Each structure stands twice: as structure tokens, then as C-alpha cells.
Homo-oligomer: A and B are copies of this chain.
Amino acid sequence: MAGEHLSREIAEQPEVLARLLNAGEPRIREIAAGLAKRWGDVAFMVIAARGTSDNAARYAQYLFGASNRLSVALATPSLFTLYESPPDLSRSFTVGISQSGASPDIVAPVKEARRQGAPTLAITNEPDSPLALAADFVLPLNAGSERSVAATKTYTAQLLAMAMLSASLARPEEADRRWRELSMVPRWVAETVGLAGQIGQQAERFRYLDRLVTSGRGYCYGTAFEAALKLKETCYLLAEPHASADFLHGPVAIIESGFPALLVAPTGAAFPDMVAFARPLGERGAELLVVSDSDEALGLARTPLRLPAGVPEWLAPIPAIVPCQLLALSLARVKGLDPDRPRGLSKVTLTY
């Protein structure tokens, strides 16, 4: 059956995440202790990443911002490679995120930050990669080899790794609660993986879909980007991600009757904003797909995609991407495409 690798890798996620939680915890606590010794000068965080990993970095902006009071800048790799004019990173904590750890433009900022004396971390599935060798600290994802071009298990593992690191850097009075919540992640993801059959049916409706917009806010801003990317990679849709607030500053003009919009709207601080955004879209006749644990939000959707109850907002992006991965897989099959072999893409992309 088409999409065999992708299907298996989506299903593997609960196991991959459980392994990272258990085996990764001592490593992450060790990294946090090592960082603590060098924390005095750190004024902000920089993350270098591309593609799927860049969507993980978008999550990190909210995660480390809200929980650890760190401003997170996404690196502009071309400053290091094309312009050879790197910014001052001496007071940064610089992190490179890459499944393969091979792309030169992700290695370059990490190398430069380390040269400038800043603490650096590599989050990668390949602990012997150039990225891993460049950084002071390495957090291996241990997700097993990923054969589908569309990354799934390495993405959720990247999110979990950063959530664990954030918990390790949190104030002690918060840390316990956060680790308790983290321990639930594999179960929540297993619940959403269980939607595979239902989403297989829901995807039928979209046989002739060729475009959609996706939207999320706050913690799930990156989820909207990652959902769009999966649909682009596997189904060749023109899929455009937005923050709901940015959307109202312009692109809302493109929405017309029947235009599809996928909204990621778990309950939490960003929820009222997402619902307030969904209503006018609905009134313009948009066709809504909604990923949420809220009956209210799901009730606005033609295609509801239900999340488990009780997930705290800071961890919602991990289960919330799973229905989107399943939709990308199912829709590719409905369209007669093989999502394991997208046109023009290879697993490891070397960019400069």
C-alpha cells in the first residue's frame, strides 16, 4: 500500500516518545546542569533549523518564552553562509535542530556561536552528524531511522525534547508538575494515532482539494506551519500557514465560499482568539477542519478532528500534529499519490 513508511512512522510515535522520555531524561538533566554553569551571560536563545525542524523551532519560541522567560530568535543561516557576516552570539544560547544533522547552513550558526564562547546544543537523530560534532551538548532523539521523506516521528520527538529541556530549566516549584504532565504525552499521542481509520474516511471529501490555509496561534502557531508542510510534501497542495492575527492583517481577503481552512485550536489561552477567528471564516462560507478538544470549536467544523481531553496547552502541539499527519497520509492515498516518494524531494537536503 502506498505510504507504507509514513504510515508506520506515524504509528511508531507513542513508542518513540516513551523511549525519549525514559532514556532521554537523565541526558537532558545533565545538559541542563551543564548549561546552568554557563547561564550567567545568556541573554537570549537562537535556534537554527529548516523545514520541519523550523516548525519545531516555532514551538520553542512560545515554550521557552512563556516558561523560561527567554526570547528566541530564529537564526538567519545565510548571514553565516552567503554573507559571511555572523551576528554577535556571545550572549546567546544557540541550538541547532536537524533530523540528519547534515545541512551546512544549520551547522554554521552553531559552530560560530561556540567559537564566540556561547553554550550550544544539537538536537538531532544522528548523534555522529556534523551538527552533533559542532555543539557543546548533544541531545539525540533516538527515534530510529526515518525512511519517509515527510518527517513525523522526528518532529514530535523534537517537540518533546524541547519540552523536557524547558522543564529541566524551570523553577523547581514548577518542575515536578511539568514532568508529571510530560509523562502523559505518549498516551495522548497513542489516542490521536487511533484516529487513523476515521481520518481515512474523512479524507475522501477532499479528493479534489488543491489548496487550503492553516491557522494556529501561540504554542500551536508552529503546528499550523507543520500541518501545511505535510500536506504540501505529500499531496502537492498549495497550503498556506498563518497566525490568526496575521491573517486578519491581509490574507483574509482570499477566503471565499467553500475555501478550506484547517484550524488548530486546543483549549488554553489562545483558544478564545482562535474561535473568534473561526466564526467570521465560517460566515464567509469557508469549509472548516478543526483540530481541538473543545466541543464548541469542533461544532464549527465540517470536519472535526478531536484531541484527547486534559492536555495542557504547552504540550498540545505534540498530539495536535498527529491528526494532520494522518490527514496528509490519507489524502495522498485518496488522490492516488505515494506519500513516501514525493516528487523532487530527498530525505536529506543540503542547503547553504
A contact residues vs B (CB 8 Å cutoff)? 43-44, 46, 50-52, 54, 61-62, 64-67, 69-74, 76-79, 82-89, 91-92, 105, 211, 213, 217-218, 221, 229, 232-233, 236-238, 240, 243, 245-246, 248-256, 269-270, 273, 280, 284, 342-345, 349, 351-352
Contacts and interface: CB of A to CB of B under 8 A. Distances in A.
Given A78-B218, A218-B83, A270-B82, A50 B232 contact: no
Contacts of A251: 229, 232-233
Contact of A71 (B87, B232, B270): B87
Contacts of A270: 78, 82-83
Contacts of A269: 78, 82-84
A344 B252 contact: yes
B245 A232 contact: no
A114 to B, nearest CB: 15
Contacts of A343: 253
Contacts of A211: 211, 238
A63 to B, nearest CB: 10
Given A65-B85, A91-B91, A232-B251, 13 more contacts: A50-B245, A62-B76, A62-B79, A70-B88, A71-B73, A82-B218, A229-B251, A236-B256, A238-B240, A245-B352, A248-B351, A249-B351, A250-B345
A37 to B, nearest CB: 19
A109 to B, nearest CB: 10
A179 to B, nearest CB: 20
Contacts of A76: 61-62, 65, 218, 221
A147 B98 CA distance: 45
6 contacts: A43-B92, A65-B85, A74-B74, A78-B270, A211-B211, A253-B342
A230 to B, nearest CB: 9
Nearest 8 pairs between A and B by C-beta? A51-B249, A73-B73, A43-B43, A245-B351, A43-B91, A66-B85, A253-B342, A71-B87
Contact of A250 (B62, B88, B232, B254): B232
Given A43-B44, A83-B269, A284-B344, A51 B254 contact: no
Given A65-B76, A88-B69, A91-B44, A344 B253 contact: yes
A74 B351 CA distance: 23
B92 A44 contact: yes
Contacts of A250: 51-52, 229, 232-233, 345
A67 B86 CA distance: 9
Contacts of A280: 344
B44 A73 contact: yes
Nearest to A313: B83
Contacts of A284: 344
